[in-house]
Amino acid sequence: MTDRHDITNCHPPTRTLPLSAFKQTMALSLLAISVAQATLVHAATPMTGNEVEARVGAVLDNMNISEKINFTRVDDGHMIPRLPKWGMEGTIAYDSSMGVHVNNATFGAQYPAQSALAATWSINRAKEFGLAIGYETRISGGQQMLSPGVNLYRTPFGGRSAEYVSGEDPFLGAVMGPAIANGIQAQGIQAAGKHFLANEQEANRHYVNIKADERTLRELYLPGFESLVKNANVASIMCGYNKINGDYACENHHFLTEVLKGEWGYQGNVMSDFNSVQDAFKGAWAGTDIDMPSGLQFTEAKLLPYLWSGQLTQNVIDDKVKRNLRALVSYGFDKQLNKAQTLDHPEYGQRAALNMARESIVLLRNEKTSAGKPLLPLARDAKIAVIGDLALQPPTSPFGTPNSPPNTYVTELSGLQQLASNGANVEYLREMSLNPKASVWYQPSTGQNGISNTGVKAEYFSNTELAGSPATTRVEPGVNLSWTTNTNTTDSGVTAVSGFNTTPGAFSARFTSKIKPSISGEQVFKVRADGAFKLWVNDELVLENDGTQKSFDLINALVTSGKTARLQAGKEYTVKLEYRRLQGNFTPVLGGMAGVQMSWASLRPPKDLSKYDAVVIAAGTNFEYEGESNDHDYALPEYQSDLITYATKANPNTVVVLHSGGALDMQPWANKVGASLHAWFPGQQGGQALAEILYGKVNPSGKLPITIDKKIEDNPSYPSYSDPKQYLGDNALTEMNYSEGIYLGYRGYDKKHAKPLYPFGYGLSYTTFDYSNLKLSTNVMAPGSTIDVKFTVTNSGSQAGFEVAQLYVHPANPAVDRPEKELKGFTKVYLQPGESKTVSIPIDSRSLAYYVEKTDSWDVDAGKFKILVGPDSEDLPLDRTLITLFPEHLTTRDSNPLPSPLRKAVQVSTAQTY
């Protein structure tokens, strides 16, 4: 792999294991240090061999049955249980993919999402992330990091897409996952691969039964985990909530014991997702080793009867104890645990976050302006209008486990202002911002001399029906109220919600005010609350929500947007919001809230929008819409598609910056805007990275790890998963059929000979790259051999930059049904203008193989294969034919998802630790 980076200066202005509701905040911060610039303070790396096994055996032989059973469960905040008799204090695990909270605050850096990391296609960035998060875990006093996530991006609805580093391709995950895990474990910290297996949706995640055939699971959904085991010796695997073909993931003997521990020879332990073991006997027999965090099933009362009856044999329990002891001993945690230290170098985390953000942002569109040049990069002295609350707010993260509010950050607005030749040239259009802190309200009654008073009349009722006289009436400066702190935060400051005790639970409130639009046209209103609500504008019902919860474990506040008919600038309109807090069990942390918010903004731009040289719109989702425990819509929320369309009509030099863990519906405006970029959730330095790219200081190099559909109906998973709402409520569906089989993502598009909006692997640059001189080290694949695929990449443009070259394998005349092509290699190369480099990508027999269930083998047929090379899955200008003379049968134990050179490439040397 060729990887180089020009690092410029940054200008940035114990999650506790839950004992209820499955998830609360754990403690950790991510501290990233550039691999090339790391100060060497070596961590202890995992031990192996006879010494470990001897220590494990000695302890095991001196444990009674009670101690053994209790060493398979935790309910006190640890991950591996304590063994006080042997002086072992157990371990603490921290859970995050973007940055972790200590006491509901982020400790250290906020990193880009792992889906953003996937978009870098960089082994070096994956190692850097692993080293960083492992280092910070150690500094914070933890011993385990519950990362990486290698589930696949099956559907755009997926709530946790941001947390997974595989994108839609198993090979990408099989490369990036071990690179992360090796970085973590090189720091003397245990990594945990999650969520095993087929955890690609959040809707009804605790009860949904995933139905998929063995070949589909082996070829698509298992290789990422297989690679973690074989190429990272990952310490732990976390089994998920869902069922797979009828058995819960943590009670699935076939995958946990037969495949993971048997065929792959996995020596680590299997931990449950949070309280995901449903049946003590099934979980124990299947192969789950730790029932966490509440230890509800693996108790003496539940397991001893099965041992006495012979349904469970002693060796089943002993194997769990051995695996858990091995985890302690091999990392030295039986003797000494990491102690929490002060974070002395936050700048390391900022640098790592910036490196990842710079390489993850994908340029999707860059049309020529009336001047005949591409819209991007922008001139430093360009006059720019910025639209969208996401540009003004701190860089966002999803709801749930990955939620990580940054301590220091660069907003996208400030990033542009700092890098512009004159910050005044970058103007934020507040009248188009849905911000509850900044929305302007007028009381229904006017003050002296007919001048309207700002604020909202608030009536609080001690019942949930707004019945009778209000218990308290007061004027609020706005509607951005928190019941956790009983405060109302607006641009005018923070005020206390006094005179009415809202903390205990059920009550109702009515908020009345007026608005005076400054732009004529439709206005969008948004309400977010932990209860039911209705909103009227001029006595017209604009939006409502009945308060129905969307999940039952992590419960996010409810959010709804509605738009009015055309309103006239300068005219006053009445607004009334009725709110009923019927339930008090919404999650107030991890991006959730207990409270109520209301905001409004214009959907239409001001008449003078055309005066700007460019318009930058920050669009997409945040923790309000996307995250754990709930899948989301494909459409952009808050009528953002309308806003983008209106802005583009007023100024064709509109740049859309999209934020989400995966894809959102771009089709209404994708071919109308001047430029578009996918920025994912870019982390605390995302504003700087974006500004550097928009102004041309950094050449964009991100490539899509997913396919972006024109219409959601085009997605290969749509026939079986067309509406997340079907998996909610009392009549929720409990079965999901992976009907597309092996034709996930780009494989499905190839099968249908269809074109997506943007293909897998796609991403533009400010320069151009040419491919030539494809050669194979041999045209005939001998059994057990590795072939070097060499070709030349030339920067034929005028700017230096990275190119991600991709290799796909096409079986010419397959004996069985196979995808037209599959990703089997990639490399990232940095080139100066006019520079050429010959690069090499290895492939081996496994690169050509498919899974055969009846023989439990990876088979390679004799025949011809085309090796295709190019910049993305649809643009593959180079090809050569490879011949296999003899069929091969590779065992599932001895074959590897990665060719030998790549296995070495994902390793981390002790010289890289700090």
Q: What is the pLDDT of residue 882?
A: 98
Q: What is the pLDDT of residue 39?
A: 30
For 586-603, what is each residue's pLDDT tens digit? 999 999 999 999 999 999
Indicate the average pLDDT of the chain: 92
Largest CA distance in the chain: 94
HSE of 30, CA atoms in CB hemisphere, 13 A: 40
For every residue of 272-324, DSSP letters joined together read ESTT----HHHHHHHT--BB-SS--SS-HHHHHHHHHHTSS-HHHHHHHHHHH
Q: What is the pLDDT of residue 501?
A: 62
CB 163 within 8 A of CB 178: no
Where does residue 648 rank: exposed (0-12), middle (13-18), buried (19+ CB within 10 A)? buried
In this structure, the number of other CB atoms found within 10 A of the CB of residue 256 comes to 26
For every residue of 785-801, DSSP letters joined together read -EEEEEEEEEE-SSS-E
From residue 618, give the alpha-carbon distance in Å to each of 379, 660, 661, 679, 690. 19, 11, 15, 10, 11
**CB-based contacts of 895, cutoff 8 Å, min separation 6:** 845, 846, 849, 858
The residues pairing with 176 across neighbouring beta strands, listed in sequence order, are none
Which phi and psi (to 5°) does residue 634 adopt? -85, -30
Average pLDDT estimate for 339-362: 89
The larger pLDDT score, comparing residue 448 to residue 900, is at 900
For 766-797, what is each residue's pLDDT tens digit? 999 999 999 999 999 999 999 999 999 999 99
Band of residue 31 on the pLDDT scale cut at 50, 70, 90: very low
pTM: 0.94
Q: What is the pLDDT of residue 109?
A: 87
Geometric angle at alpha carbon 544, from 540 and 549, rounded to 5° = 175
For every residue of 162-208, DSSP letters joined together read GGBSSTT-HHHHHHHHHHHHHHHHHTT-EEEEEEETT----TTTTT-
| Cα–Cα distance measured from residue 693 to residue 679, given in angstroms and rounded to the nearest whole number | 11
Q: Is the pLDDT of residue 497 over 90?
A: no
For 231-256, what is each residue's pLDDT tens digit? 999 999 999 999 999 999 999 999 99
| Cα–Cα distance measured from residue 768 to residue 698, given in angstroms and rounded to the nearest whole number | 15
**CB-based contacts of 593, cutoff 8 Å, min separation 6:** 482, 484, 528, 530, 557, 586
Where does residue 449 rank: exposed (0-12), middle (13-18), buried (19+ CB within 10 A)? exposed
CB 155 within 8 A of CB 208: no
Which phi and psi (to 5°) does residue 601 adopt? -160, 165
Q: Is the pLDDT of residue 18 over 70?
A: no
> Could you give all domains of the chain from N- to C-terminal order, each with its CATH number?
48-330 (3.20.20.300), 347-424+622-727 (3.40.50.1700), 442-602 (2.60.120.260), 769-912 (2.60.40.10)
| Cα–Cα distance measured from residue 789 to residue 174, given in angstroms and rounded to the nearest whole number | 19
From residue 227, give the alpha-carbon distance in Å to each of 3, 111, 216, 680, 682. 22, 24, 17, 25, 26
| Cα–Cα distance measured from residue 433 to residue 605, given in angstroms and rounded to the nearest whole number | 11
For 553-589, what is each residue's pLDDT tens digit? 999 999 999 999 999 999 999 999 999 998 778 999 9
Which phi and psi (to 5°) does residue 899 adopt? -60, 160
| Cα–Cα distance measured from residue 240 to residue 150, given in angstroms and rounded to the nearest whole number | 12
Q: What per-residue string of b and e applies to 713-727 under the rule 16 or more CB within 10 Å gives b?
A: ebbbbbeebeebeeb
Which phi and psi (to 5°) does residue 248 adopt? -55, 150
Q: Is the pLDDT of residue 815 over 50?
A: yes
Q: What is the pLDDT of residue 499?
A: 62
| Cα–Cα distance measured from residue 877 to residue 793, given in angstroms and rounded to the nearest whole number | 12
Q: What is the pLDDT of residue 42?
A: 41
For 68-105, what is each residue's pLDDT tens digit? 999 999 999 999 999 999 999 999 998 878 976 767 77
Q: What per-residue string of b and e applies to 124-141 under the rule 16 or more CB within 10 Å gives b?
A: bbbbbbbbbbbbbbbbbb
Q: What is the pLDDT of residue 45?
A: 58
Residue found under tokens 């005020």: 495
Q: Is the pLDDT of residue 454 over 90?
A: no
CB 111 within 8 A of CB 683: yes
| Cα–Cα distance measured from residue 309 to residue 435, given in angstroms and rounded to the nearest whole number | 63
Q: What is the pLDDT of residue 104?
A: 76
Omega within 30 of 0 (cis) for the link into 700: no
Q: Is the pLDDT of residue 449 over 90?
A: no
Band of residue 347 on the pLDDT scale cut at 50, 70, 90: confident
Omega within 30 of 0 (cis) for the link into 897: no
For 268-278, what is each residue's pLDDT tens digit? 999 999 999 99
Q: What is the pLDDT of residue 351?
A: 85
